[in-house]
Amino acid sequence: MLGFLPNNIALFQQACRHRSVSRRNQERGDNERLEFLGDAVLSTIVSDILYNTYKSKEEGFLSKTRSKIVQRETLNQVAKEIGLDRIIETSIHSQSHNNYTFGNALEAIIGAIYIDQGFERCRYIVEEAIIKKYIDIEKLARQEVNFKSRLIE
C-alpha cells in the first residue's frame, strides 16, 4: 500500500484496529497510542517540508498551511485514497457525520512506520507515498478555510 514491507506486521495490524473493536477483545489493543505518535511525527515531517519549500514565508503562513495538511478532513480523504478504509477494523458506521476513523488510522499507520522503520525512512515514505502522491500543497496553501478570520481581517 505504501511501498515497503514492514518488519513488525503486528504494529500495522494494531494501527488498523479502532478502539470500538478492541473493547471486545482487550488483549489485542487499539490504534490510539500509535495515532498519538503518528500525529506528532506527521506534524514534524510536514513542518520540515514546508520550512524547506517556502523559504521566504513567515511563521503564520507555514502554520496555516501545515494545519490544512494535517487536518482531519484532509487525512480522512488521503486514507480513503490509499485504501485504508477497506482494511480498518471498526464497528463505527463509516458514513456518520464527523467520523475521522480513517484519518486517525492513517496517523496510527505513520506512528507504526516510525517505530518499525525509524524517522528518516518514515519521513521518506510519508513524503513520497502520501504527500507527493495525494496532497497538493500549493493548492492547499492558497485555499481559504477560515472564512470568519478572513472576514475579520
Helix (H) or strand (E) holding 143: none
108: number of Cβ within 10 Å: 29
Per the structure block, which three cell numbers stand in for 127? 513524503
Asked if 113 and 35 count as a contact pair (C-beta separation under 8 A), the reply is: no
Q: Catalytic residues, which ones? A: 39, 107
147: number of Cβ within 10 Å: 8
